[in-house]
Structure 1
């Protein structure tokens, strides 16, 4: 849709860069490490009240909540539209203050602007994407316009891993479970994970495996009485690394690359005795052609085949269940799907060197939306994943402001707009084209 010059002028006149940056900094200032998201959820709801048609904070456990909001001409019956998501939780801040002691960055929640970037925990992963949407909706409201097709915002808890007893996507599972009273309808979902404003249409699958090797401890002077679990661990480690080498020779996905395996932790021994137990942790990357259950079976065969001493027992567990009992499935949305192509064109209009189709070097929650709600999902937001979860997490202000313009234009072009001041309650300025659904 091409807006009239008058409407373009109204939207542009409502732009407020200072207010948009303040939204980002305010959100970063609210601690929301996984397990403690309620305050951030309530803040997000407050930003949208008086702007959108309906807002609700859904507290589903102590200190844990999602925010749901929708805006459109007839949000009770309208179909299509857009869904924007982001996760409210961040990884921990342990060590941040010590690392930046005596500098402007000392507080992980201070959100200082340094050399054109906002610094702080979660600023890119993924409070930036949430703030972009809030800023875009507020600008649209200031312009006196509203979307015709519905725009839904869903900000969820519990996406990040790392905190004990959390990080299993309880937030989005809850949102899907209560979708009868907080409806989620859209032709396309945009998840605000950092992509440096490239359009990620796919991402890897994964599972985490904890391995426990059990032998028998014995006094170091009589090692023949023990069963050395650490020696077994050496055999397993060698086999795992060989398995990784084999995986990397297999067929590569054009965007995601080859499957792989990484050993992430080893603990064992520690006393003056034959080690009776050793624990290993691994993470397995899967491509879209792979099945999690089959990959699990292959891994367990590698582990058991490596142990030469039959007295060593082995157990495996899979602690990171997401949309699959073992972990998270790979995700693919057709890059030729018309709304995706429209989005890509809009990104390139504002950022000519961005908007390319790519894959996320991470797993996120798009598979839930496709499996449970039938909504194709892409990832698009400012920020660079390479410095997320580190002491260098920051967000370039210019990229962030460009993202606000991208989100806003996509909402206007895809959903159409009506004039809030039009006497009849509707306006002639709206899209009539229906790009359809992904085949």
Structure 2
């Protein structure tokens, strides 16, 4: 079947209603971080229906990952779709939308050709696009030469107590390393990109600093050591550091590094503030080393001329693939599979898909760095409305994602009669 003929068949035979209901059903499975199991049950049922013979395993007690594969007819390349099953919380959602169709964050109403709900774009639209793509290829009658596999993992999101450390991703790469799950040749992590293809992403670390002085009665401030004044000195130094980073090297897809103070808490009594706390996040561009960035930041803190009696403590609460945080990562933006995926997206819709960089951190470093699998981000959805009360995904973009993934699966894996291979730079 020619590419033109396949594209026409994908569009003609796509069951839009079934694809929409698949996503609505996924949104209907509440899966706030720590409670991924219900959604995993849903996914295993859907995977079984398309012949994937899914397996599952707990990455933490009662918190499962699931995975499955359609093995090809020949020894062709293995394409893997990866996505996280957990979402952020819904606190305040019902109150925000009280009396509106969106009031229930899991009812997935379709309003003005957009599907609403928690997880709609981050990232259940991506997961459902990938599964629906294989179903669409079956409908069209395409038999794959290579293998298409799926891995859906928990614990990606932050925000819930004692969770959000990528425990699911760590379990996945461990199973791949031991051979329990076949190593993919190329992976698509279905974070929302508006169907652009991201070959790079930022890294990060979060630091929480506690500054301690000595409280004293406001009438005798000379008896105290002002922690809030010390914090002002530290903030000045950090903002200067941010300016230096902004003026430093930039990355063509994700820009310059930076540091952002996100929270400050101190004082509150009619007294010299004896304690103050602040939080910050440091963005790293690809090519930066996390250990070096932390050392640079700590040198800034230690370089502040605090008054005698001031002490401080720093903790790093958000270790992911690295003890301090999440590593930046990139693959060659000219990788043939990445360019082919962008071409597939462009061919199934009117807008051109761009090669870009993710202004967020997700779990591709586990795949790129730990198992050596080239990985991109690509999926329907707009990251700027993820985690908000506005979370939704356009029906047209979601359906285009299904067709784009189907076309790319066929091209990357090859079909029974043609064994096109894009992994490893061969085409």
TM class, shorter-length: over 0.9
The match for 2:25 is 26
What's the counterpart of residue 93 of structure 1? 90
Q: Which moved more, 1:172-181 or 1:317-326?
A: 172-181
Distance 2:51 2:371 in 1: 23
Deviates more, 1:60-69 or 1:367-376: 60-69
Q: What is residue 363 of structure 1 aligned with on the other side?
A: 361
Q: Matched residue of 1:176: which SS? A: helix
1:195–1:385 CA contact under 8 A, matched in 2: yes
Distance in 1 (CA, whole Å) between partners of 2:418 and 2:338 is 20
Residue number in structure 2 paired with 1:2: 2
2:76, 2:413 within 8 Å by CA — same for their partners in 1?
no
What residue number does 2:424 align with?
A: 437
Q: Does residue 161 in structure 1 map to residue 158 in structure 2?
A: yes
Deviation of 1:222 (Å): 2.7
Provide the C-alpha distance between the structure 2 equivalents of 1:182 and 1:54, rounded to a whole number of angstroms. 14
User: Is the Cα contact below 8 Å between 1:122 and 1:393 reproduced in 2?
Assistant: yes
Are positions 1:203 and 2:201 aligned together?
yes
Matched, 1:309 2:307: yes
- Could you say which residue in structure 1 is the equivalent of 2:224? 226
TM-score normalised by length of structure 1: 0.92
- Any stretches of 5+ residues in structure 1 without a counterpart? 419-428
1:287 matched residue in structure 2? 285
Aligned pairs, how many? 425
Structure 1 segments of 4+ aligned residues over 4 angstroms from their partners: 7-14
Give 1:2 shift: 2.9
Cα distance 1:276–1:438, how it changes in 2: closer, same or farther (>3 A)? Answer: farther
**3-state SS, counterpart of residue 281 of structure 1:** strand
Deviation (angstroms), 1:359: 0.6
Once the two structures are TM-superposed, the CA of residue 209 in structure 1 deviates from its matched residue by 0.6
Q: Deviations over 1:337-380 (max 9, x none)?
A: 11112112111111242311111110111111011111001111
Aligned to 2:382: 384
Query: Is residue 7–residue 407 contact of structure 2 (8 Å, CA) maintained in 1?
Result: no
Q: How does 1:27-426 map to 2 (within 5 A)?
A: 27-73=26-72, 78=75, 80-179=77-176, 180=178, 182-418=180-416
Q: Provide the C-alpha distance between the structure 2 equivalents of 1:368 and 1:253, rounded to a whole number of angstroms.
A: 21
- Structure 2 length normalisation: TM-score? 0.95
Shift of residue 182, structure 1, vs aligned partner: 3.5
- Deviation of the 1:10 alpha carbon: 6.5
> Could you tell me how far apart the structure 2 residues matched to 1:38 and 1:137 are?
23
Quickly say closer, same or farther: Cα 1:391–1:136, change in 2 above 3 A: same
CA contact (8 A) 1:209 1:316 kept: yes
User: Paired residue for 1:16?
Assistant: 15
1:374 & 1:189 partners in 2: Cα distance? Answer: 11
Residue 63 of structure 1 deviates from its aligned partner by: 4.0
Structure 2: give runs of 5+ residues left out of the alignment: none
Q: What is the DSSP-based 3-state SS (H/G/I as helix, E as strand, rest coil) of the residue aligned with 1:189?
A: strand
Cα distance change on mapping 1:243 and 1:216 into 2, 3 Å:
same
Contact 1:13 1:143 in 2 (8 A): no
CA distance in 1, matches of 2:274, 2:37: 43
